[in-house]
């Protein structure tokens, strides 16, 4: 076992896209992500303060897409770890290549006589065998998982820890060393520190309360459903073929639906899907029959579809009145 710390962190040069809040806004826009100043500020601070960002908000508001867009804009690999109940260090940090270790053991068994044949004593023979035993738990037999893989990227990376609230509290404790010092400890090898600390983003849908220790190590960012103006900008970027007339009406309808008492509110991604659907159906306006036939694109529960279906005319009328 090696006790020395490996891969000591080096000074990090700030990428052009993270030079200022305005640069972040521009970088994200070029990647197709229309961000608010609050979002851009959180990304800027995450790099310069070397703190992870804990992103909370309803499902489908662009939390995961933010990490993808940052990685795309920076030209860095996106390393994603999807959290789930029972996630442990073998899936998050590393595991040993047991098949390769077994093969090595077989080779060592076949060659053991040759290795010790010139040993003059038992102690000398044991010393020779111990030198080969150290190789058994070496980097050659280590399989990095997302956390360690992010530490090993020499050019930097964006580490997305997705839906952290779905993991166990024990996994939060496992993250503390990684998020505090950007390093991973492998008992058989030592401590592996990131040469270039990754830009870390954690997402949560708030299915459970996260621990205070984890929250203290993170910047907090809440992303909510956008207002009509921002949502129109997002759809215009993602669906360039949509007409302004149709865009205005479909965004207004989505905004009205979010005011209804339904279980699953339509997300931004579903607004984008609906815009693409209406273009495919050659719709140039929102007619009640067309809206009803495509509600399954924006609503994912039958009870919600039934609730909104009976109010389509009223929602369209309120939308038109609001636009006057």
pLDDT for 1 beyond 50: no
Displacement of CA 308 from its chain's centroid (Å): 32
3-state secondary structure of 139: helix
pLDDT digits (tens, 9 = 90+) for 111-157: 666 665 666 666 776 666 666 555 656 666 677 889 888 988 988 99
Has residue 308 got a pLDDT over 80? Answer: yes
Residue 201 has pLDDT above 50, yes or no: yes
Average pLDDT over residues 105-109: 61
Mean pLDDT along residues 206-221: 90
Q: Which of 13 and 19 is assigned the larger pLDDT?
A: 19
Query: Average pLDDT for residues 284-309, to the nearest whole number?
Result: 95
213, 137, 228: which is closest to 177 by C-alpha? 213
Q: Quote the mean pLDDT of the chain.
A: 85
Q: In a 10 Å sphere around its CB, with 0-12 CB exposed, 13-18 middle and 19+ buried, how is residue 197 labelled?
A: buried
pLDDT tens-digit profile of 221-278? 999 999 999 999 999 999 999 999 999 999 999 999 999 999 999 999 999 999 999 9
Q: For the CA atoms of 86, 91, 94, 96, what is the dihedral angle to 10 degrees?
A: 100
Distance CA 84, CA 91 (A): 11
* Angle, alpha carbons 75-172-55 (nearest 5°): 50
Q: Judging by DSSP bridges, how do beta strands 183-186 and 190-193 pair with one another?
A: antiparallel
- Which percentage of the chain shows pLDDT scores above 90? 58
Give the pLDDT band of residue 80 (cuts 50, 70, 90). very high
């Amino acid at each position: 076992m090696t006790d020395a710390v490996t891969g000591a962190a080096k000074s990090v040069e700030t990428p052009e896209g993270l030079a200022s809040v305005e640069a972040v806004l521009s970088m994200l826009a070029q990647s197709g992500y229309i961000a608010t100043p609050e979002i851009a500020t959180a990304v800027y601070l995450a790099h310069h303060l070397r703190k992870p960002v804990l992103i909370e908000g309803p499902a489908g508001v662009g939390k995961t897409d933010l990490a993808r867009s940052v990685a795309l804009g920076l030209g860095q690999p996106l390393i994603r770890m999807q959290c789930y109940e029972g996630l442990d260090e073998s899936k998050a940090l590393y595991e040993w290549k047991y098949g390769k270790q077994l093969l090595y053991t077989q080779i060592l068994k076949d060659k053991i006589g040759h290795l010790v044949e010139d040993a003059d004593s038992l102690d000398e023979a044991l010393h020779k065998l111990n030198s080969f035993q150290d190789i058994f738990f070496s980097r050659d037999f280590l399989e990095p998982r997302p956390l360690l893989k992010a530490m090993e990227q020499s050019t930097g990376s964006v580490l997305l820890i997705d839906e952290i609230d779905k993991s166990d509290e024990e996994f939060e404790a496992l993250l503390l060393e990684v998020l505090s010092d950007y390093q991973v400890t492998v008992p058989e090898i030592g401590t592996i520190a990131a040469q270039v600390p990754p830009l870390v983003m954690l997402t949560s849908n708030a299915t459970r309360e996260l621990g205070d220790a984890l929250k203290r190590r993170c910047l907090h960012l809440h992303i909510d459903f956008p207002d009509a103006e921002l949502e129109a900008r997002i759809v215009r970027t993602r669906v360039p073929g949509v007409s302004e007339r149709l865009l205005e009406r479909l965004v207004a309808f989505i905004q009205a639906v979010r005011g209804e008492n339904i279980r699953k509110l339509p997300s931004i991604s579903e607004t984008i899907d609906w815009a693409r659907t209406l273009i495919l159906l050659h719709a140039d306006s929102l007619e009640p029959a067309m809206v009803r036939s495509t509600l399954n694109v924006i609503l994912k529960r039958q009870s919600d579809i039934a609730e909104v279906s009976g109010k389509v005319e009223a929602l369209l009328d309120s939308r038109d009145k609001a636009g006057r």
